[in-house]
Amino acid sequence: MPRESVYPRELRVRAVQMVREVRDDYPSEYAAITAVASKLGIGNPETLRGWVRKMQIDAGERPGQTTDDAEELRRLRRENAELRRANEILKAASAFFAAELDRPQRRS
């Protein structure tokens, strides 16, 4: 389950859009990120830089793991762990019942 951000999704999306809009007005992308972060009250420009990078990856502008791929991978890992636990339970039950069948039965 992804952790909840302190910043609302709308602010994150708008901040990334603002960086794209004002990028040409600054000598570097990081300078634009720093300016937008200070205007929007985002405490650390690195936070906004991470949002920009993630949006670039999701848009296919930069190589990396997309948000959808990361969520799918997390879901599959959880499912895999659950299946491993179920498999261990079934193995234990199988061993228990096999041992019961091997015991000699007393007739009443």
pLDDT at 42: 93
pLDDT at 40: 94
The domain locations on the chain are: 1-64, 67-103
pLDDT at 108: 62
Domain 1-64, CATH class in plain words: mainly alpha
pLDDT at 105: 74
pLDDT at 2: 56
pLDDT at 4: 64
What are the residue ranges in the chain where pLDDT is below 50? Answer: none
Q: Report pLDDT digits (tens) over 57-79.
A: 999 999 999 999 999 999 999 99
pLDDT at 3: 62
What is the C-alpha separation between 83 and 85, in angstroms, rounded?
A: 5
DSSP string across the chain: -PPPPSS-HHHHHHHHHHHHHHGGGSSSHHHHHHHHHHHHT-S-HHHHHHHHHHHHHHTTSS-S--HHHHHHHHHHHHHHHHHHHHHHHHHHHHHHHHHHHHSPPPP-
